[in-house]
Structure 1
């Protein structure tokens, strides 16, 4: 559903801006900033008084730890990738409404190593039996984005501008995998059945997190 929405959004965007851009005087700018998606760099084009388009790359990798059913997992969250957006200036000023999509793997990659007995599914296993638990959660790709903010890139007399943006990525339901390695029971059918119960619990918990908040602040330079 989210992928269909993203494709529809892209089609509507292109159908809207291509006729406008044919007769519009364009201005170009580059920008950089920081926010909840890490550091980003973008190229922007002003199509007319109402529409800008921008695309760029963000880098965001952070260490995380999560606890599920008493098991602590440690690893990293990677949400680096490319983005393509269209900004609407409904009042022909610095206020913008932004829509687009983020492209790239959004992956939570975690592992658990326990020194104590742990509960997996409906049973308890020793550390030697369970081994190392590898937990991965992959979010929707591409990911639709909606937001609003302030962008003075093409509104100032000088070349410098300021951008503030708040919004959300609609990440959808996470695709969760949970595996065991280097354990005495890593290939045991009974253990694997309990591991699948645990995976389903985690996947159910992850259904509450279908949105990722986006907050960005940065500077731009117009050519």
Structure 2
């Protein structure tokens, strides 16, 4: 890539820099790893804007964890407020903020023969259904970068990439069968919970990537 090409790219970026460069308020719609989202933004001073919004998504999918087959449900629900520091004459910005994290994972066992809980095998009819729930810290800090481009007139393109420090997932396991209150079974149920917990302990950072459109006022 020669100097002339680089110069043309730089000029194009500056001419099409952030979608809200001349606007104090705008709204947007987004899609990404946190689901489908909406946000509103306000620029109180040059080169700084404040954004707030929410993301939502739900997915049902079969899963096998620790040797047990489950019906799985992923529910994504987050609300956030961020501050965005803009680089002058550029679409680039640096973002920091706080998320209210309501993301959850729910699993319901579907074994009908024998089922191994912890280190012991039981008839599935005596165990009933195993209910697994995983959730995260209620408040999670976010750090990232982003780009805001004007497409034309009042329509802009929003791109975000960052990390949500959501903490390790908190796993809970219950059963609803005849053995649910048996002390020996409860000990095995705790062993099962710990096995699941150990499998997910390293997933304390969630990658956030999204793309969307903004509408400026």
Matches within 5 A, 1:24-43: 27-43=24-40
The alpha carbon displacement at 1:42 in A equals 0.8
* Structure 2 alignment gaps of length 5 or more: 1-21
Q: 2:99 is matched with which residue: 86, 99, 102?
A: 102
The answer to whether the 8 A contact 1:49-1:92 is kept is no
The answer to whether the 8 A contact 1:113-1:131 is kept is no
Determine helix, strand or coil for the equivalent of 2:187. Answer: helix
Give the alignment's TM-score, normalised by structure 1: 0.82
* Distance in 2 separating the partners of 1:204 and 1:60: 26
Higher strand fraction: Structure 1 or Structure 2? 2
The answer to whether the 8 A contact 1:38-1:59 is kept is yes
Larger radius of gyration: 2
Residue of structure 1 equivalent to 2:127: 130
The alpha carbon displacement at 1:220 in A equals 0.5
* Distance in 2 separating the partners of 1:69 and 1:157: 52
Residue of structure 2 equivalent to 1:196: 190
* Structural RMSD (CA): 1.8
* Structure 1 alignment gaps of length 5 or more: 1-24
Give the alignment's TM-score, normalised by structure 2: 0.84
* Distance in 2 separating the partners of 1:91 and 1:64: 45
- Equivalent pairs counted in the alignment come to 196
The alpha carbon displacement at 1:184 in A equals 2.5
